Chains A and B, each alone.
Chain A
Amino acid sequence: MRDVAEPPRPGLWPVTLRAVAFRAGGQTLIDGLDLELAPGALTCVMGPNGAGKSLLVRLIAGLIAPTEGTITYGSAGAPAKNRIAVVFQRPVLLRRSAAANLDHALKTYGMPRAARPGRIAALLSEAGLTAQAGQAARLLSGGEQQRLALVRALAAEPDLLLLDEPAANLDPQATAMLEALIRRASSEGVKVVLVTHDRDQARRMAEEVILLHRGRIAERAPAQAFFENPKSPEARAYLAGRLLL
């Protein structure tokens, strides 16, 4: 990961969504959304199923284009290479060993061959997977696979890390290990946007919360204010455990 003292590389910030809409199959899934992301607080994006959380991640990552509105990265219309990293709910790992998955990523990110083994060892150690270096990645446990996917994403030394419900299928121990890695990345200067529908995880992790409902931002607030004094009726209903229709 990058040195904490290292200033953020210019260019990506702020990530700005202006009147962004995404429509598919006759439905409006993201509805005129305005959002600005800047380095700093770990942001949790919450909301019920179908609120548009995963779509928002894909829009910000540039994996899909909005049907309306604009997304800008600093003054650019597309993010520079390797500046945004994404970890999906179900980790997609190559049909190779854990170490070979990292080698592929580092090669993609332009690291010279000679420098890769040392970096791979460091990343595996960070993920607690040193002993699994030579194992087929797809035979690792769910938690191990997700940690591997996370350090693979961090291998790009991104400025913005988008996590789409990375702990959704993990047991508590695996979740704790993953959350520790995420916190560390955040403390080292990576802007983390964590999508979760798990209120407890959001309470543990969030410094800022965005609540999405029907493709719109219902509320955006610092975590403490959100959980202790939610302003919007949607946030109050969501935190009370009521169904958001």
Chain B
Amino acid sequence: MQDFWAALAQAFALILGAEAELVEIIGLSLRVSLSAVAIACVIGLPLGAVLAVGRFPGRLALSVLVNALMGLPPVVVGLTVYLVLSASGPLGVLQLLYTPAAMIIAQTILVTPIIAALTRQVIEDLSGEYDEMLRAMGVSRAGMIATLLWDARYSLLTAALAGTGRALAEVGAVLIVGGNINHVTRTMTTAIALETSKGELAMALALGIILVTLSVIVSACVMGLRASAARMAYA
């Protein structure tokens, strides 16, 4: 118990001292996760909207697949991306293995189904309300999707938040494709795993505290934004 309190005190000292290694790890984690979420939004938002309002063969099967992919085991994604990017893999020539780019690819694969599936649900609900009005106005299918995405923007923030949470907390895939290389591919989660295994609890705890704090801040911002949007009848 004494060890825990001592480690906790050291962790706060590391945080307050803005220790260089800590800052570097946090920076890389945010860069990788937020890049993955941004790419996943670019893919997942229109994909979810098309699944919600599109009329094409295989739409239901694709929706089921996207929903199923929400539960993808990160280590399986990590292994697959590893095999594809490894020297003997189809994309080995790109030499992306053990780089932040490989980690972004792996996280994008994990996050995109979450954002697409949640977007489909949100847009489907809103479409039930807007469909007849938009059709009466002669809005094209593409125009409908754009209108629905814009008007659901505050609800879709929640989808992006869910994706951000998944990306920031993810450890298995980035460990496999990033390799947890110091100053290159070490993120908060992989560093926590490493430091804990080494018995360096102070650094692990410091990173854990930062991780949880980041999650709370992002959640609070999105909830605040949604609440004010609801008050203004924009949500």
- B125 in the interface (beta carbon within 8 A): no
- A92 in the interface (beta carbon within 8 A): yes
The complex places the Cα of A71 from the Cα of B136 at a distance, in Å, of 16
Q: Which residue of B132, B143, B151, B232 is within 8 Å of A108 (Cβ)? A: B143
The complex places the Cα of A136 from the Cα of B229 at a distance, in Å, of 10
- B147 in the interface (beta carbon within 8 A): yes
- B1 in the interface (beta carbon within 8 A): no
- A203 in the interface (beta carbon within 8 A): no
Q: Please, which residues of chain A bring their CB within 8 A of the CB of B139? A: 108
A90 CB, min distance to chain B CBs, angstroms: 10
Interchain CB contact under 8 A, A105 and B133: no
The complex places the Cα of A203 from the Cα of B38 at a distance, in Å, of 59
Which of these binds chain B: A2-10, A80-88, A176-184, A187-195? A80-88
- A30 in the interface (beta carbon within 8 A): no
Q: Which residue of B133, B136, B137, B233 is within 8 Å of A139 (Cβ)? A: B233
Query: Per-residue CB proximity of A152-180 to B under 8 Å, as 1/0?
Result: 10001000000000000000000000000
Interchain CB contact under 8 A, A61 and B138: no
B143 CB, min distance to chain A CBs, angstroms: 6
Interface residue tally on B, bucketed by range? 10 to 19
Q: Please, which residues of chain B bring their CB within 8 A of the CB of A18? A: none
Interchain CB contact under 8 A, B132 and A63: yes
B233 CB, min distance to chain A CBs, angstroms: 4
Query: Per-residue CB proximity of B117-143 to A under 8 Å, as 1/0?
Result: 000000000000110110111110001
Interchain CB contact under 8 A, A156 and B137: yes
Assuming A136-B232, A139-B232, is B147 touching A104 (CB within 8 A)?
A: yes
Interchain CB contact under 8 A, B151 and A92: no
- B60 in the interface (beta carbon within 8 A): no
Interface residue tally on A, bucketed by range? 20 to 34
B131 CB, min distance to chain A CBs, angstroms: 9
Q: Which residue of A81, A92, A94 is within 8 Å of B138 (Cβ)? A: A81
Per the 8 Å Cβ criterion, residues 184-226 of A in contact with B are none
- B235 in the interface (beta carbon within 8 A): yes
- B234 in the interface (beta carbon within 8 A): yes
The complex places the Cα of A58 from the Cα of B234 at a distance, in Å, of 28
The complex places the Cα of A81 from the Cα of B140 at a distance, in Å, of 11
What residue in chain A is nearest B155 (Cβ atoms)? A95
Q: Please, which residues of chain A bring their CB within 8 A of the CB of B143? A: 108
Most buried by B among A84, A94, A136, A156: A94
The complex places the Cα of A63 from the Cα of B135 at a distance, in Å, of 7
- A231 in the interface (beta carbon within 8 A): no
- A23 in the interface (beta carbon within 8 A): no
A164 CB, min distance to chain B CBs, angstroms: 10
Per CB-CB distance, the 9 closest pairs between chain A and chain B, nearest first, are A138-B233, A92-B133, A86-B136, A136-B233, A95-B151, A139-B233, A81-B138, A95-B234, A108-B139
Supplied contacts A92-B129, A108-B138, 15 more A-B pairs, CB within 8 Å: A58-B132, A63-B135, A81-B138, A82-B138, A85-B136, A86-B136, A88-B132, A92-B132, A96-B234, A104-B147, A109-B137, A109-B138, A136-B232, A137-B233, A138-B233
In the complex, 22 of the A-B residue pairs with CB atoms within 8 angstroms, ordered by the A residue number, are A61-B136, A81-B138, A84-B136, A85-B136, A88-B136, A92-B130, A94-B130, A94-B147, A94-B151, A95-B151, A95-B233, A95-B235, A96-B234, A104-B147, A105-B137, A108-B138, A109-B137, A109-B138, A136-B232, A138-B233, A156-B137, A156-B138
